[in-house]
């Protein structure tokens, strides 16, 4: 019979810990979103420290090996709506022959790049900005003053536990870890989009027609390998014959739960091997080899914050304008289903597609035809401000306040990168603003973003 007793606990003795860094701004999370926040703040003169649990910057673009950024243009290819550090990094990779540019109106990819080259380029970007960098460092807990104000965060790494003291904090953890541990209001969507483990494979060109039939092969042979129905896509790494494949589907895990995340990582690698077994059986003469696995899952969704405004799918699909817009996007609504195979794509022109492995694409409309269509959408600053948290905290990244349909569009990297830049610039303005992040003038914020290269 299960015990009703509380789980065993061990009391950790109180102790003094050293202050290992002091800064104006502390950024938790070193994805491109977090790094871009740090760089924009540093370029405006702030002292910035950035904390990253892995060994490099880039997040999904590097450690998860997703080597695609989407278009920087509106859906018609007539207006550039994204610039800033995303465009700067693309140009830097271009000088090294590490990126391929696709058509402006390509809905699936604007750029494909070499994730390993991106790691080095992001190191250079951080070094040039003069950031304090803490790799292999885990955020542990917020540290509050007697008055309840966030004054520092506890971190831990090979050197032990220490504190980073700062005036302002940017939560770019992807899971709103800082906001949640501060007791800010957070929530999980009813439909958490499933995760994907990518893989880099050599010998893809030797598969023959099996490569083009991967969806059909998974539909036919996947059940024998314990594979769920999936949606497969991929790209060659620029300048090589190595193929980045995204074809796994890890359902039902909450990335903010350590045990579930552990299960997801193991399951993702198992599915990669199963897919390779299916391909080898279909093309026994192919010279297919596994070159690399990601050091983290490709996570699409986790914990969200509650903010003064939740961006909705209607806002996105109608291209609604906001006075406090800090990011623009044209990527389609892209729903990876938990409850059925495949994905649904919903476009700003009113059309819709349903893709499932091994079947023809099903096309229709999510709304009747209209004389004109929006060509991009906007993300307001308010969606980054946590309700119930201290005024010196802001978020940047996928944990912004959005409903499931809006999230399915805005979550991609070129959009989230802009939320990082906005948070970094807002931090510099908040240094001199009584009331912190919520009191920042969005007119001043938008002007400062534009002066720094953003395409608002």
* CA nearest neighbour of 302 among 356, 258, 346, 247: 258
For residue 130, how many other CB atoms are within 10 A of its CB?
Answer: 12
Which value, to the nearest 10 degrees, does the dihedral of the CA atoms of residues 161, 164, 170, 171 take? 10
Phi, psi of 234 (to 5 degrees): 180, 180
Predicted pLDDT at 1: 45
Return the SS3 of 391. Answer: coil
Q: What is the DSSP letter of 381?
A: G
Half-sphere exposure of 166 (CA within 13 A, CB side): 29
Instruction: Report d(CA 163, CA 186) in Å as an integer.
Output: 25
How many other C-beta atoms are found inside a 10 Å radius of the C-beta of residue 213? 17
What distance in Å separates the CA atoms of residue 72 and residue 80, rounded to the nearest whole number? 6
Q: Does residue 230 contact residue 221 with C-beta atoms inside 8 Å?
A: no
Question: Which parts of the chain have pLDDT scores under 50?
Answer: 1-3
Phi, psi (rounded to 5 degrees) for 25? -130, 135
pLDDT at 186: 96
Handedness of CA 276, 281, 282, 284 (dihedral sign): positive
Length of the chain counted residue by residue: 456
CA distance 22 to 26: 9
Whole-angstrom distance, CA of residue 365 vs CA of residue 352: 5
**What backbone torsions phi and psi does residue 396 show, to the nearest 5 degrees?**
-145, 125
* Phi and psi angles of residue 27, each rounded to the nearest 5 degrees, phi first: -110, 125
At residue 6, the pLDDT reads 61
Q: How far apart are CA 190 and CA 188, in angstroms?
A: 6
What is the spatial distance between Cα 7 and Cα 331, in angstroms, rounded to a whole number? 46
- The token duo for 233 is 């896509």
Total Cβ atoms within 10 A of residue 349: 17
């Amino acid at each position: 019979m299960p015990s009703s007793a509380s789980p065993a606990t061990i009391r950790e003795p109180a102790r003094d810990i050293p202050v290992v860094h002091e800064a104006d701004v502390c950024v938790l999370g070193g994805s491109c979103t977090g790094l871009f926040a740090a760089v924009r703040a540093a370029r405006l003169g702030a002292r910035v420290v950035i904390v990253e649990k892995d060994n490099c910057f880039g997040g999904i673009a590097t450690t998860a090996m997703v080597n695609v950024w989407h278009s920087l243009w509106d859906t018609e290819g007539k207006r550039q709506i994204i610039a800033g550090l995303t465009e700067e990094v693309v140009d830097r990779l271009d000088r090294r022959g590490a990126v391929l540019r696709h058509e402006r109106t390509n809905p699936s990819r604007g750029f494909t790049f070499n994730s390993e080259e991106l790691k080095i380029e992001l190191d250079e970007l951080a070094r040039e900005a003069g950031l304090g960098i803490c790799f292999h460092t885990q955020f542990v807990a917020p540290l509050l003053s007697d008055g309840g104000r966030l004054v520092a965060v506890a971190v831990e790494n090979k050197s032990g536990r220490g504190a980073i003291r700062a005036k302002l904090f940017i939560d770019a953890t992807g899971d709103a870890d800082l906001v949640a541990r501060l007791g800010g209001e957070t929530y999980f969507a009813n439909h958490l989009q499933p995760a994907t483990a990518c893989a880099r494979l050599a010998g893809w060109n030797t598969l023959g027609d099996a490569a083009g039939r991967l969806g059909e092969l998974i539909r036919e042979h996947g059940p024998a390998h314990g594979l769920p129905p999936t949606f497969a896509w991929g790209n060659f790494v620029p300048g090589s014959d190595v193929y980045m494949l995204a074809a796994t589907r890890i359902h039902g895990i909450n990335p903010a739960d350590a045990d579930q995340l552990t299960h997801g990582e193991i399951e993702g690698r198992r599915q990669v091997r199963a897919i390779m077994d299916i391909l080898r059986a279909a093309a026994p003469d192919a010279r297919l080899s596994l070159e690399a696995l990601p050091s983290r899952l490709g996570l699409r969704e986790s914990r969200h914050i509650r903010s003064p405004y939740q961006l909705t799918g209607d806002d996105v699909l109608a291209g609604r304008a906001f006075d406090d817009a800090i990011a623009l996007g044209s990527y389609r609504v892209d729903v990876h289903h938990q409850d059925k195979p495949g994905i649904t794509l919903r476009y700003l022109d009113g059309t819709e597609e349903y893709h499932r492995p091994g079947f023809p694409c099903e096309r229709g409309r999510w709304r009747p035809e209209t004389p004109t269509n929006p060509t991009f959408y906007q993300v307001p600053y308010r969606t980054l401000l946590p309700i119930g948290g201290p005024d010196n905290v802001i978020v940047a990244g996928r944990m912004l306040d959005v409903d499931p349909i809006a999230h399915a569009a805005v979550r991609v990297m070129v959009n989230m990168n802009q939320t990082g830049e906005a948070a970094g610039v807002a931090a510099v303005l908040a240094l001199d603003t009584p009331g912190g992040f919520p009191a920042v003038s969005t007119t001043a914020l938008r002007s400062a973003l534009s002066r720094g290269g953003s395409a608002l």
